[in-house]
């Protein structure tokens, strides 16, 4: 029985629930460019389009002006679809080999999720990872205690991934949700927040655990207030463009947001 006006919370994976700082995909993008073409990109360049499906992400990195310029200097032409295919082919086995190393839950993630389940709220999830990567990640995350009620991978939806609403809405259908206004989307990337908006949901952006701050958990733990403020502002600048309803540091801060949304729903508000 649901004791909350919220019917479902739909979480992103890397940088939201697991993999503090979203390092599994970023480091692998750098390595895949190197393996595929002996071409170097920075971690910052690898992070730039985070949140979209991985093939599209590689293509988007190739279109960053600084990367495009170096690519043309090295190869004589802009990056082609065939080039993207070759980098993606290098990316996939690397990602599958490494994703389990970054499956540890972030801070209070399991506790927050379990509390939602205890209230009868369904827990959905979606990811920019393709299904063959998720098939490696899901059982390892389950061993750590994270077991969402449903998982959608980026290539499960032929209509495409974020910022389109299809992955979020697939969760709605499979979880038997009757009102998208009673759903919350939680993500550390702008495309993931836009996905929530496009699906008609409340949206929550995460500032410090995800891709935009790019801190390791150790850096986060040892950082002084000034360092955290700088990381927060860097992430806020990127995420605010997608106009999330709430911005918080990590999933540990989500219970307060959930309580606020519950009150707003009871008062008749909609996202």
> Catalytic site residues?
12, 54
Close Cβ partners of 131 (under 8 Å, ≥ 6 residues apart): 153, 155, 156
Per DSSP, 4 falls in state S
Helix boundaries (H) for 145-251: 166-174, 190-198, 217-222, 225-239
For the stretch 12-25, what's the b/e string if a residue is b when 16 or more beta carbons lie within 10 angstroms of its beta carbon? bbbbbbbbbbbbbb
Helix (H) or strand (E) holding 84: helix 81-98
What gap in Å lies between CA 2 and CA 180, rounded to an integer? 16
Strand-by-strand arrangement of the 202-206 sheet: 122-125, 8-11, 183-187, 202-206, 246-248
């Amino acid at each position: 029985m649901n004791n909350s006006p919220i019917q479902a919370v739909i979480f992103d994976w890397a940088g939201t629930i697991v993999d503090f700082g979203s390092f599994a995909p970023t480091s692998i993008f750098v390595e895949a460019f190197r393996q595929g073409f002996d071409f170097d990109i920075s971690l910052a360049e690898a992070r730039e389009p985070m949140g979209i499906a991985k093939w599209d992400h590689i293509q988007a990195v190739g279109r960053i002006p600084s990367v495009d310029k170096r690519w043309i200097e090295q190869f004589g032409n802009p990056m082609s679809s065939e080039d993207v295919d070759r980098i993606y082919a290098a990316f996939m086995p690397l990602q599958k080999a490494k994703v389990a190393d970054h499956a540890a839950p972030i801070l209070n993630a399991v506790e927050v999720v379990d509390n939602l389940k205890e209230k009868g709220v369904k827990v959905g999830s979606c990811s920019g990872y393709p299904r063959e990567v998720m098939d490696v990640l899901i059982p390892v995350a389950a061993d750590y205690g994270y077991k969402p009620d449903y998982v959608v991978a980026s290539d499960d939806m032929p209509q495409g991934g974020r910022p389109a609403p299809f992955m979020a809405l697939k969760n709605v259908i499979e979880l038997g949700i009757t009102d998208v206004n009673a759903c919350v989307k939680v993500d550390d990337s702008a495309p993931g927040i836009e996905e929530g908006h496009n699906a008609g949901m409340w949206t929550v952006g995460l500032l410090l655990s995800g891709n935009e701050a790019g801190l390791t958990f150790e850096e986060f733990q040892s950082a002084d207030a000034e360092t955290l403020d700088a990381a927060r502002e860097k992430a806020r600048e990127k995420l605010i463009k997608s106009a999330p309803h709430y911005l918080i540091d990590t999933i540990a801060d989500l219970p307060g947001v959930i309580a606020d949304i519950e009150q707003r729903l009871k008062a008749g508000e909609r996202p």
